[in-house]
Amino acid sequence: MRFMVLIKATKDSEAGVMPSEQLLTEMGKFNEELVKAGVMLAGEGLHPSSKGARVKFSGEKRTVIDGPFPETKDLVAGFWMFQVKSRKRRSNGSSAARIPPARRPRSRFVRCSRRRTSVPR
């Protein structure tokens, strides 16, 4: 079972303010442990929306809207992708329960597909 943990953006992350050295070190150790345990599939921080764009689809029409975007509540600042054997393991010490405390209030879980799918490039 794969789960994605989304880290919500804040005014600081949108302003390009990096996390403290202490938090980066804590997250690095957390990530290393989960990779070694075979739980973490991917994860990284994302650029502020000022460096991004949204693509809106309407039938055959595509509209690209360049950032920045004013509502931080709808933006994602980073993510982790976990592979666990069960929902119970997702919640215990093997993954999400150990997310660094400074990241927990801004974290949301999304259950991902069990099957791998290919995306045309």
E strands, the chain, are: 2-8, 40-45, 53-58, 61-66, 76-83, 107-111
As a three-state string, the secondary structure of 40-62 is EEEEEECCCHHHCEEEEEECCEE
pLDDT tops 80 at residue 43: yes
pLDDT single digits (tens) 89-99: 544 444 555 56
Owning domain of residue 54: 2-111
Q: Is 82 helix (H, G, I), strand (E, B) or coil?
A: strand
With respect to residue 120, please indicate whether it lies within any of the assigned structural domains.
Answer: no
pLDDT at residue 52 in the model: 93
pTM of the complete model beyond 0.85: no
The contacts of residue 30 (CB under 8 Å, 6+ apart) are 98, 99, 100
Q: Which amino acid is at 67?
A: G
Number of structural domains (the chain) is 1
Residue 117 lies in a domain: no
118 inside domain: no
CATH number of domain containing 51? 3.30.70.1060
